[in-house]
């Protein structure tokens, strides 16, 4: 019985992604699907503020969210439970005309530094704005910080 409990506990702690998909959000912050997580859960938004469409490919070590083409002012978002070790990582490839960029879009450092403050069992949000001059991250309440160029 102990080994069955341990297996169940291990599966709960290591399974951490639930997709919401690409949806248009108006206003910029809206309620996301309620999740049941043991610790903290996050929704990450990527907004295209370029007049041309872009392609975004988001992945983690466990999940591949696939390619998404975002029209101007469109967004991609996904939600996940943060792992007990606080080492959750999502990275993305961005394609715009002949330009390519690749970097982490969610880490513990990014969430602690630029996103909404972590509160036990409350949703966290992290917003990325893709602009012609680069990539900006923020919590939608304070000025965004430019982290990457194209």
CATH placement of domain 41-149: 2.60.40
Of 5 and 93, more confident: 93
Length of the chain equals: 150
CA proximity to 47, closest of 82, 91, 94: 94
Closest CA to 22 of 44, 50, 52: 44
d(CA 6, CA 66): 32
* 10-65 confidence digits (pLDDT tens): 444 444 443 433 333 333 444 445 556 777 789 999 999 999 999 999 999 888 99
| β strands within 33-112, DSSP E | 41-48, 54-60, 64-70, 75-81, 90-96, 99-106
In whole angstroms, give the CA distance from residue 80 to residue 41: 6
Percent residues over pLDDT 70 in the chain: 73
**pLDDT tens by residue, 98-128:** 999 999 999 989 999 999 987 776 789 999 9
Percent of the chain with pLDDT over 90: 55
Q: pTM of the prediction?
A: 0.74
Rounded average pLDDT over 135-144: 92
- So where are the chain's domains? 41-149
């Amino acid at each position: 019985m102990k080994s069955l409990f341990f297996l169940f506990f291990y599966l709960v702690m290591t399974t951490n992604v639930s997709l919401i998909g690409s949806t248009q959000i108006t206003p910029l912050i809206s309620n996301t699907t309620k999740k049941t997580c043991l610790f903290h859960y996050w929704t990450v938004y990527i907004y295209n503020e370029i007049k041309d469409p872009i392609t975004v490919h988001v992945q983690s070590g466990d999940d591949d969210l696939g390619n998404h083409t975002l029209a101007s002012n469109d967004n991609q978002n996904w939600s996940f439970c943060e792992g007990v070790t606080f080492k959750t990582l999502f990275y993305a490839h961005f394609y715009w005309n002949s330009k390519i960029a690749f970097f982490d879009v969610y880490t513990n450092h990014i969430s602690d530094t630029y996103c909404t403050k972590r509160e036990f069992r409350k949703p966290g949000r992290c917003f990325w704005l893709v602009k012609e001059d680069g990539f900006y991250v923020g919590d939608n309440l304070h000025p965004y910080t430019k982290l990457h160029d194209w």
